[in-house]
Amino acid sequence: MPLISSSAYAPPWFLHNAHVQSIAPILIRRVAGINYQRTRIETPDGDFLDLDYSCVGARRVGIVSHGLEGDSSRPYVLGMVRALNRRGWDAVAWNFRGCSGEPNRLLRSYHSGDTQDLHTVISSVLALGHYTQLALIGFSLGGNIALKYLGERGSDVASQIIAAATFSVPCDLTSASHAMSRPSNAIYMTRFLTMLHRKIRWKMELFPGAIDDRGYRKIHTFKDFDNRYTAPLNGFQDAEDYWQKASSKPVLADITVPSLLVSAADDPFLAPACYPLDAALENPNLFLEVPPHGGHVGFVTLSQDGTYWSEQRATDFLEACANSG
DSSP string, 77-129: HHHHHHHHHHTT-EEEEEEPTT-SSS--SSS----TT-HHHHHHHHHHHHHTS
Q: Are 110 and 140 in contact (CB under 8 A)?
A: no
- Count of CA atoms in the C-beta half-sphere (13 A) of 74: 25
- The predicted pLDDT at position 14 comes to 85
Span 3-172+248-324: which CATH code? 3.40.50.1820
Q: pLDDT tens digits for 284-319? A: 999 999 999 999 999 999 888 999 999 999 999 999
Q: pLDDT tens digits for 66-120? A: 999 999 999 999 999 999 999 999 999 999 999 999 999 999 999 999 999 999 9
**Would you report the helix, strand and coil content of the chain in percent, each value rounded to 5?**
45, 15, 40
As annotated, the active-site residues are 140, 267, 296
Query: Of 319, 324, 248, 317, which is closest to residue 289 (Cα–Cα)?
Result: 317
pTM recorded for the entire structure: 0.96
Beta strands in 43-189 (DSSP E): 48-54, 60-65, 90-95, 133-139, 161-167
Burial class (CB in 10 A: 0-12, 13-18, 19+), 17: middle
Where do the domains of the chain lie?
A: 3-172+248-324
Q: What is the pLDDT tens value at each position of the chain, 325 positions in all?
A: 477 777 889 999 888 899 999 999 999 999 998 999 999 999 999 999 999 999 999 999 999 999 999 999 999 999 999 999 999 999 999 999 999 999 999 999 999 999 999 999 999 999 999 999 999 999 999 999 999 999 999 999 999 999 999 999 999 999 999 999 999 999 999 999 999 999 999 999 999 999 999 999 999 999 999 999 999 999 999 999 999 999 999 999 999 999 999 999 999 999 999 999 999 999 999 999 999 999 999 999 988 899 999 999 999 999 999 988 6
